[in-house]
């Protein structure tokens, strides 16, 4: 998605909101100059060690430590579900974009898939397609792409979540790492969707991805 948005440009001004331990920062640096903020001090320290970048303390919706109208691309990857006031958070991120800039976000999908996993990870919600699109529009953004992803693994994840609910096993977590071989298989299946994202609208998935544009000043 970033390759398609950036084209040949490698001078983009990029902000990652809620960068966590910095797993995306080196990748984002391929497209330009990267800034980032993260509320957790321990995660910031790890992110700075990984990337060599300075990561600022910051929160959503208030507490973004950067000037408005400053970025070509803002990314918030699996962040908005952690923000209690997500509508205000989206509006705040929209204001960080320069006119014509793009917001890229990913969020977990389908409220009926809510499980102990979401509670352990301090989620406030899972999103529907229409809910995410409407909230982006209310934030003053124009949705360019909204699509589900993690589609290939969706049947497996949905089956596990529904079976856990039916058996009353909501107290069980699902964070244990699979074996290295199984993990490689799952990674290959998940990554295989990359060539489809942004080209076709996937009909269902564990997560949603959206790209939304801040309108140009008329």
Residue 166 has pLDDT above 80, yes or no: no
- Domains of the chain, residue spans: 2-213
Q: What's the pTM?
A: 0.92
Q: What percent of the chain has pLDDT over 90?
A: 81
Output the CATH code of domain 2-213. Answer: 3.40.50.150
Show the tokens assigned to 150.
Answer: 């993690």
Residue 147's pLDDT band, with cuts at 50, 70 and 90, is: very high
Closest CA to 153 of 192, 201, 95: 192
> Which residue has tokens 């529907």?
128
Residues 153, 88: Cα–Cα separation, whole Å: 32
């Amino acid at each position: 998605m970033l390759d398609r948005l950036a084209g040949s440009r490698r001078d983009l001004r990029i902000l990652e909101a809620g960068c966590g331990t910095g797993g995306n920062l080196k990748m984002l640096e391929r497209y330009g100059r990267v800034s980032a903020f993260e509320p957790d001090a321990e995660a910031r320290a790890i992110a700075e060690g990984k990337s060599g970048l300075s990561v600022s303390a910051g929160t959503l919706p208030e507490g973004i430590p950067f000037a408005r109208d400053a970025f070509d691309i803002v990314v918030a990857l699996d962040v908005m579900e952690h923000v209690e006031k997500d509508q205000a958070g989206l509006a705040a991120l929209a204001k960080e974009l320069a006119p014509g800039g793009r917001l890229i976000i990913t969020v977990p999908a389908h409220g009926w898939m809510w499980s102990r996993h979401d509670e352990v990870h301090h989620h406030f919600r899972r999103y529907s397609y229409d809910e995410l699109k409407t909230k982006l529009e209310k934030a003053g953004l124009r949705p360019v792409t909204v699509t589900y992803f993690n589609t290939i693994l969706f049947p497996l994840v949905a089956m596990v979540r529904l079976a856990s609910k039916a058996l009353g096993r909501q107290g069980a977590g699902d964070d244990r790492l699979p074996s290295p071989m199984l993990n490689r298989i799952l990674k290959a299946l998940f990554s295989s969707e990359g060539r489809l994202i942004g080209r076709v609208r996937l009909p269902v998935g564990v997560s949603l991805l959206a790209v939304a544009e801040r309108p140009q000043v008329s």
